[in-house]
Amino acid sequence: MPFVLMTLSTTARPATDLGYLLFKHPAKAQRFPQSSGTAHVFYPVAGEDLCTAALLLDVDPVALARNNRGREGYVNDRPYAAGSLLAVTLGSVFRTAMNGRCDERPELAAAAIPLAVRLPAVSCRGGAELAERLFAPMGWRVEARPLPLDPEFPEWGDSHHLDLRLTGELRLADALRHLYVLLPVMDNTKHYWVGEDEVAKLIRAGGDWLVAHPERELISARYLAHRRGYVRTALERLAELDDTPEEEVDEATDEPVVRPLAVVRRQAVLDALREVGARRVLDLGCGPGSLLLDLVADTSFTELVGTDVSSVALTIADRRISRLPDRARARVAVRQSSLTYTDPALAGFDAAVLMEVVEHLDPSRLAALEHVVFAGARPEHVVVTTPNIEYNPLYPTLAAGAFRHPDHRFEWTRAEFREWADGVAARNGYTARFLPVGPEDPVAGSPTQLAVFSKVTKEVAA
Amino acid sequence: MSELAIPDMSLVVLIGASGSGKSTFARKHFAASQVLSSDYFRGLVSDDENDQGASADAFDALHYVAGKRLARGLVTVVDATNVQQRVRARLVELAKAHDVLPVAVVLDLPEAECVRRNAARPDRDFGAHVVQRHVRELRKSLKWLGKEGFRKVHVLRDQSEVDSARFVQEPLRNDLRGETGPFDVIGDVHGCRAELEELLGELGYAVERDPAGRAVGAAHPEGRRVVFVGDLVDRGPDTPGVLRLAMGMVEAGNALAVCGNHEQKLARALRGRKVTVRHGLAESLAQLGTEDPEFVKRAEVFCDSLVSHYLLDEGKLVVAHAGLPAQYHGRASGRVRSFALYGDTTGETDEYGLPVRYPWARDYRGSAVVLYGHTPTPEVEWINSTMCLDTGCVFGGKLTALRYPEREVVSVAAHEVWYEPVRPLVPAVEEREPTALALADVIGRRVVETAELGMVTVREEQTAAALEVMSRFAVDPRWLVYLPPTMAPADTHKEGPVLEHPREAFAEFGGLPVVCEEKHMGSRAVVLVTRSPDVAPRRFAIEGDGAVYTRTGRTFLPAPLTSSLLTRVRAAAAGLWDELETDWLLLDAELLPWNAKAGKLINEQFAPTGAAAAAALPAAVELLSQAADRGVDVADLLTKTRTRETNALGFRDAYRRYCWPTSDLDGVRLAPFQVLAAEGRAFHDRPHVWHLAVAAKLRAADPELFTETRYLEVDTADPSSVAAGVRWWEDLTAAGGEGMVVKPAANLVRMGRKLALPGIKVRGREYLRIIYGPDYTDHLDRFRDRKLGKKRSLALREYALGLEALERLSRNEPLWRVHECVFAVLALESEPVDPRL
Distance of CA B500 to the CA centre of its chain: 40
Give the count of domains, chain A: 2
pLDDT at A258: 45
- State the CB neighbour count (10 A cutoff) for residue A426: 11
Please tell me which of the candidates A2, A149, A336 has its beta carbon nearest to residue B775. A2
Tell me, yes or no, whether A66 and A168 share the same domain.
yes
The reply to whether residue A147 touches residue B627, judged by beta carbons under 8 angstroms, is no
- pLDDT tens digit sequence for B795-836: 999 999 999 999 999 988 888 889 999 999 999 988 888 888
Burial of B430 by CB count in 10 Å (0-12 exposed, 13-18 middle, 19+ buried)?
exposed
- Residue B705 backbone dihedrals phi, psi, to 5 degrees: -85, -45
Helix residue ranges per DSSP H, B590-687: 594-601, 607-629, 635-656
Write down which residue in A168, A192, A216 finishes a domain: A192
**Min distance B806 CA to chain A CA atoms (Å):** 22
Return the CATH number at A130.
3.30.1610.20
CA separation for the pair B465, B444 (Å, rounded): 11
B 775-814: CB under 8 A from A: 775, 782
A 433-462: CB under 8 A from B: 458, 460-461
pTM, to two decimals: 0.77
The answer to whether the bond into B502 is cis (omega within 30° of 0) is no
pLDDT at A61: 66
CA separation for the pair B67, A13 (Å, rounded): 97
Q: Which residue of B has its CA nearest to A119?
A: B616
Q: Measured between CB atoms, does B345 come within 8 Å of chain A?
A: no
- Whether A216 maps to a domain, the answer reads no
The reply to whether residue A44 touches residue B627, judged by beta carbons under 8 angstroms, is yes
A 81-110: CB under 8 A from B: 81
Please tell me which of the candidates A73, A147, A341 has its beta carbon nearest to residue B437. A341
Q: Measured between CB atoms, does B353 come within 8 Å of chain A?
A: yes
Return the CATH number at A300.
3.40.50.150
Tell me, yes or no, whether A272 and A392 share the same domain.
yes
Q: What element of type H or E holds B513?
A: strand B513-519
Pick among B346, B365, B623, B634 to test the A interface (most A CBs inside 10 A) = B623
The reply to whether residue B633 touches residue A29, judged by beta carbons under 8 angstroms, is yes
Size of interface A-B (CB pairs under 8 A): 190
Tell me, yes or no, whether A434 and A288 share the same domain.
yes
**Min distance B480 CA to chain A CA atoms (Å):** 13
CB of B803 closer than 8 Å to CB of B758: no
Provide the 3-class DSSP secondary structure of residue A369: helix
- The complex scores an ipTM of 0.79
B 654-673: CB under 8 A from A: 656, 659, 661
Provide the 3-class DSSP secondary structure of residue B434: coil
- Whether A369 maps to a domain, the answer reads yes
Tell me, yes or no, whether A400 and A314 share the same domain.
yes
Write down which residue in A192, A216, A250 finishes a domain: A192
Q: Measured between CB atoms, does B125 come within 8 Å of chain A?
A: no
Positive or negative torsion for Cα A396, A400, A406, A410: positive
CA separation for the pair A90, A174 (Å, rounded): 13
Please tell me which of the candidates B437, B611, B772 has its beta carbon nearest to residue A149. B611
Please tell me which of the candidates B348, B559, B625 has its beta carbon nearest to residue A458. B348
The reply to whether residue A161 touches residue B632, judged by beta carbons under 8 angstroms, is no
Q: Measured between CB atoms, does A61 come within 8 Å of chain B?
A: yes
The reply to whether residue A28 touches residue B632, judged by beta carbons under 8 angstroms, is yes
Chunked in runs of 10, what are the mean pLDDT values of chain B (837 residues)? 86 93 93 95 93 92 96 94 93 94 93 86 77 90 91 91 91 93 95 96 95 95 96 95 96 96 93 86 91 93 94 95 93 90 74 71 88 91 89 94 93 93 63 65 90 92 90 91 95 91 92 94 94 92 92 89 94 94 96 86 84 89 92 91 89 87 89 96 96 96 95 94 95 90 95 92 91 84 87 95 96 89 93 83
The reply to whether residue A341 touches residue B612, judged by beta carbons under 8 angstroms, is no
Please give the residue range of the domain that contains residue A174: 3-192
- Contact list, B476 vs chain A (CB under 8 Å): 364-365, 368
Q: Which residues contact B121 (CB under 8 A, 6 or more apart)?
A: none
Tell me, yes or no, whether A301 and A409 share the same domain.
yes
Q: How many residues does chain A have?
A: 462
The reply to whether residue B627 touches residue A42, judged by beta carbons under 8 angstroms, is yes
Pick among A6, A58, A77, A118 to test the B interface (most B CBs inside 10 A) = A77
Q: Measured between CB atoms, does B606 come within 8 Å of chain A?
A: yes
Beta pairing, strands A3-10 & A51-59: antiparallel
Closest CA to B613 of B763, B775, B789: B775
Q: Which residues contact A323 (CB under 8 A, 6 or more apart)?
A: none
Q: Which residues contact A161 (CB under 8 A, 6 or more apart)?
A: A77, A81, A121, A122, A123, A124, A146, A147, B608, B611, B612, B615
- Whether A16 maps to a domain, the answer reads yes
Low-confidence residues of chain A: pLDDT under 50: 1, 68-73, 242-259, 459-462
- Whether A209 maps to a domain, the answer reads no
- Whether A321 maps to a domain, the answer reads yes
Write down which residue in A134, A164, A192 finishes a domain: A192
Tell me, yes or no, whether A265 and A157 share the same domain.
no
Tell me, yes or no, whether A185 and A263 share the same domain.
no
A 360-389: CB under 8 A from B: 360-361, 364-365, 367-368, 370-372
- Whether A283 maps to a domain, the answer reads yes
**Min distance A302 CA to chain B CA atoms (Å):** 25
CA separation for the pair B574, B708 (Å, rounded): 19
Tell me, yes or no, whether A308 and A404 share the same domain.
yes
CA separation for the pair A133, A213 (Å, rounded): 10
Tell me, yes or no, whether A380 and A272 share the same domain.
yes
Q: Measured between CB atoms, does A406 come within 8 Å of chain B?
A: no
Tell me, yes or no, whether A374 and A450 share the same domain.
yes
Tell me, yes or no, whether A182 and A286 share the same domain.
no
- Whether A264 maps to a domain, the answer reads yes
Tell me, yes or no, whether A142 and A265 share the same domain.
no
- Whether A206 maps to a domain, the answer reads no
Closest CA to B788 of B493, B491, B510: B491
The reply to whether residue A147 touches residue B611, judged by beta carbons under 8 angstroms, is yes
CA separation for the pair B580, B73 (Å, rounded): 45
